[in-house]
Structure formats: structure tokens, C-alpha cells
Amino acid sequence: MIDPDPDYRLAAVSDRKGDYLWILARTPTMDKASDDALLARIAAQGLGGARPEATPQK
């Protein structure tokens, strides 16, 4: 896990090389501010150059 939220509502997970990146959330949707902040923290670590593709949730 490379970026867990203090309340574990969101987490970014990557392999050691940074070839894969997953963003996990406890809810089917994320608010834009939390999403943008997480992506900024990931980018600061040199990962996730493009916005990850969202997977439809039920």
C-alpha cells in the first residue's frame, strides 16, 4: 500500500516497480476533492501519470 487514507476510506496500491496502480475505496464513488488529492500524492511519488480508469461499481 503506497498511500492509505488516515481513516482507510481510500488507499492507493502499487507493485514495487510502479507498473500497476489501484485505487481502492470503501464506497462506490469518491468525491472529487478526495480523488484529486489522492492523485496528487501519487504523482508526487512518481506514479500514476494519467488518471486511472474507473471501474463501474454496483
pLDDT, tens digit, 9 for 90 and up, residues 4-33: 777 788 888 888 777 888 888 888 888 888
The per-residue pLDDT for 18 is 75
The per-residue pLDDT for 11 is 85
The Cβ of residue 30 has, within 10 Å, a number of other Cβ atoms equal to 16
More reliable by pLDDT, 27 or 48: 27
Would you kindly state where each structural domain of the chain is located, as residue ranges? 3-44
Those residues whose C-beta lies under 8 Å from the C-beta of residue 30, and which sit 6 or more positions away, are: 10, 23, 38
The per-residue pLDDT for 57 is 77
Contact 39, 48 (CB under 8 A): yes
